[in-house]
């Protein structure tokens, strides 16, 4: 178990540019989550996948945001036409799934995005 | 709907003193409750979780929390603080009835430990 990994760890971009982040979950986990954390706040849910299916999206996820998990393994989160308000830490988490049980989520180290 | 309130954005204790971090939740369905710790520029690490079994939950690093339904609380305690406990702590709620088990977090409490 190598844990959840995220790449890159830091990204600085100019307003209006597109950025893409990658998350590799724990290999046997079939659920993958994305959260956004701004300074001094708790993480906020963005979206989650069960295998390759994106099953829920938060209202926080505007049309400029898109997430994929094409083969049910790694996931990407893309932000188009970045705005300064997108500056935040983007956290990925994964968990397993069993009927009638809530499993804990394991978090990656996060990608810190700075939009200048 | 579910929500979490953490009382006190910053708590300071002396090394060796009791740590008490407060969390109150709101949930219309039976909750699952979690405490996570976050060190600077890192992701979140699970300390402990409550999933409707024992109301007193023991976690890692000597932390424990007690689920009190009547008070809708899930406060985190540790008998004796260590310098390495200095970090940000987040309480979170979820539910079996919450599709996908997404976590709803409080705003966090920063714990400082004085020598």
Q: How far apart are CA B62 and CA B85, in angstroms?
A: 10
Instruction: Tell me the average pLDDT of chain A.
Output: 92
Burial class (CB in 10 A: 0-12, 13-18, 19+), B112: middle
pLDDT at A1: 55
Rg (CA), chain B: 14
Check pLDDT > 80 for residue A71: yes
Q: Is B36 within 8 Å of chain A by CB?
A: yes
Cβ atoms A62, A47 nearer than 8 A: no
pLDDT at B92: 96
Contact assignment for B105 to A33 by CB distance below 8 Å = no
Give the tens place of pLDDT for each residue, B28-56: 888 899 999 999 878 899 999 998 778 89
Contact assignment for A42 to B108 by CB distance below 8 Å = yes
Q: Please tell me whether the peptide bond between A64 and the residue prior to it is cis, using omega within 30 degrees of 0.
A: no
Tell me the CA end-to-end span of chain A in Å, nearest whole number.
37
Average pLDDT of span A38-58: 92
Check pLDDT > 80 for residue B93: yes
Contact assignment for B96 to A108 by CB distance below 8 Å = no
Q: Is B95 within 8 Å of chain A by CB?
A: yes
């Amino acid at each position: 178990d190598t844990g959840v990994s995220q790449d890159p760890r830091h990204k600085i971009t100019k307003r209006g540019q597109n950025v893409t982040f990658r998350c590799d979950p724990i290999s046997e986990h079939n659920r993958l989550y994305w959260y956004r954390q701004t300074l001094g706040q708790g993480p906020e849910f963005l979206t989650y996948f069960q295998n390759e299916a994106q099953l829920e999206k938060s209202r926080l996820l505007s049309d400029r945001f898109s997430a994929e998990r094409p083969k049910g393994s790694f996931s990407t989160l893309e932000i188009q036409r970045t705005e300064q308000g997108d500056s935040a830490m983007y956290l990925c988490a994964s968990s397993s799934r069993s009927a009638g049980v809530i499993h804990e989520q394991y978090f990656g180290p996060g990608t810190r995005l700075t939009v200048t | 709907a579910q929500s979490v309130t953490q009382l006190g954005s910053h708590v300071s204790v002396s090394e060796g003193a009791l740590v008490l971090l407060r969390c109150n939740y709101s949930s219309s369905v039976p909750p699952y409750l979690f405490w996570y710790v976050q060190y600077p520029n890192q992701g979140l690490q699970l300390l402990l979780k409550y999933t409707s079994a024992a109301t007193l939950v023991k976690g890692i690093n000597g932390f424990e929390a007690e689920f009190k339904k009547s008070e809708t609380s899930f406060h985190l305690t540790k008998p004796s603080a260590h310098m390495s406990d200095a970090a940000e702590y987040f309480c979170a709620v979820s539910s079996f009835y919450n599709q996908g088990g997404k976590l709803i977090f409080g705003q966090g409490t920063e714990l400082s430990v004085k020598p």
